Amino acid sequence: MSSPAPRPAGRGAGFQRSGTRIAEPVTGGTRTLNWFNLAFIGWVILIAAIAIAAYMLHAPVVWIAIGALALLGIGIITSVSKSKPQI
């Protein structure tokens, strides 16, 4: 039988979390909602609303797609920057 590999020593050794707990699960599950997912869901809802409004205003579909991709990129960048741990 092989023994498990030793964990690295040093600052933050053994500190592993998948996400920041916002609320405890009601059913006793192990799911956590991290800030990246929460912010990204908000951006997706915003992009969908703006795209639908642009479509209803008869904007060309190409420009709707370009705007949606640009907003998606901005959303990913801001979501990642807001979710990284503060040192």
Q: Has residue 17 been placed in a domain?
A: no
Cβ-proximal residues to 79 (8 Å cutoff; 6+ apart), any chain: 35, 36, 39, 40, 43
Residue 46 has pLDDT above 70, yes or no: yes
Q: Has residue 21 been placed in a domain?
A: no
Place of tokens 């920041």: 20
Q: Has residue 10 been placed in a domain?
A: no
Q: Has residue 25 been placed in a domain?
A: no
What is the mean predicted confidence (pLDDT) over 55-66? 96
Report the domain count for the chain: 1
Residue 11 has pLDDT above 80, yes or no: no
> Which DSSP string corresponds to 4-31?
PPPPPPSTTTT---SS--SS--TT----
Q: Has residue 7 been placed in a domain?
A: no
Classify residue 58 by its DSSP letter: T
**Stated pTM of the model:** 0.59
Which residues span the domain enclosing 63?
36-81
Q: Has residue 23 been placed in a domain?
A: no
Q: Has residue 46 been placed in a domain?
A: yes
Q: Token pair for residue 18? A: 């998948």
